[in-house]
Amino acid sequence: MLNRRHLRVKVLQALYSYYQSEVKDFKPFEKALLGSVESVQELYIWLLSLLVEIADQSLLDAEERANKHLPTPEDLAVNIKLQENRFIVSLKQNPEYLAAIKKYKIAWDFDPEVSKSAFDALKNTEDYANYLHLDSHSIQSDKDIIKHIFKKIILKSPGIVQVFEEKFINWQVDKEVLQALIAKTFKNFSSENPADNQLASICPNWDEDRPFIINLFLKTILFEEEYQKMIAEKTKNWETDRIAMIDILLMRMAIAEILHFSTIPVKVTINEYIEISKEFSTPKSNSFINGILDKILFDLQNEGKVRKQDRGLRE
């Protein structure tokens, strides 16, 4: 699921694009920001649909072998248990999933080799052989083989990863979230009754998260000069072009949170941007950002400008 750190990264990406653009109309970038959240939902459905496609390949494979000119007894007795997998059957009947497939117009006919190559790789695994030889199947055993397909086939296949990288520019950034969403889906699909199983929610608190990312994006832009002045006063010994653009944006975002988001504790804000800098900026950025923000925070608190309430008062 998209937590607040993931959402802050989305805002960071939108801000970076905005400042790299010669057109300073923030509306298209605000729209792109919301679109980047929507793309996580779409990518999630694409991944689920690939699991279905791979399962369907078991039937196609059986038909292909049976239709050989001289099929062997093994060809005529191919096991198609994966086609009857409870998780897959339940997913195919899920109203949310079916509506999302239609909404995003998802179809793998643009590259049918993706699911075929994935199934070919699956056929040669010990886990699949063990699955086929089970005397009886439960929802848990059926989920276990699908987990194997996701973790060991889809995520480990360079060809499949390339397809997703080409279709979704943020695949590498969103991959961690997607793994969590798929894991949550496996947990949710625990009932033998398909009607009781639900897809994972991308943003459980979207009513709060949507205004959070929009306001953070806008405040960082609207108060750019004010925030930059604060940063400049604490970096007088640094040449401006020596400070990474990502570091500047992270510090401006942090200042915006400290001043304008009263229910977010200061400590949470600073820790979040330090952690983000470790992944998206230079090796020394986290200590640099921490030091500058501490100095700015000291001044803001002395001037009585930091006003927190409710959850924002927690240390």
Domains of the chain, first to last: 4-196 (no CATH), 223-313 (1.10.940.10)
Placement of tokens 């191919």 in the chain:
78
Tens-digit pLDDT profile for the chain (315 aa)? 899 999 999 999 999 999 999 888 999 999 999 999 999 999 999 999 999 999 998 887 656 654 565 555 564 445 568 888 999 999 999 999 999 999 999 999 988 899 999 999 998 899 988 988 888 888 899 999 999 999 999 999 999 999 999 999 999 999 999 999 999 999 999 988 888 999 999 998 999 999 999 999 999 999 999 999 999 999 987 766 678 899 999 999 999 999 999 999 999 999 999 999 999 998 889 999 999 999 999 999 999 999 988 776 666
| Relative orientation angle of helices 171-188 and 139-148, to the nearest 10 degrees | 170
Number of H helices and E strands in the chain, helices first, is 15, 0
Q: CA torsion angle for 56, 58, 64, 68 (degrees, to 10)?
A: -170
**CA–CA dist 263, 247 (Å, integer):** 24
Length of the chain, in residues: 315
pLDDT at 250: 97
The pLDDT of residue 285: 92
Rounded CA-CA distance 20/88 in Å is 44
What's the pLDDT score for residue 264? Answer: 96
pLDDT at 77: 45
What per-residue confidence (pLDDT) applies to 75?
A: 43
Residue carrying structure tokens 């930059």: 228
Query: Residue 275 to residues 107, 283, 284: CA-CA distances in angstroms?
Result: 37, 11, 12
Q: What is the structure's pLDDT at 129?
A: 87
Amino acid 138: pLDDT? 85
CB 125 within 8 A of CB 156: no
- Helix boundaries (H) for the chain: 4-20, 26-66, 73-76, 86-92, 95-103, 113-123, 126-132, 139-148, 158-167, 171-188, 206-222, 224-234, 245-260, 266-280, 285-302
* Listed residue (5, 1, 7, 4) closest to 278, CA to CA: 5
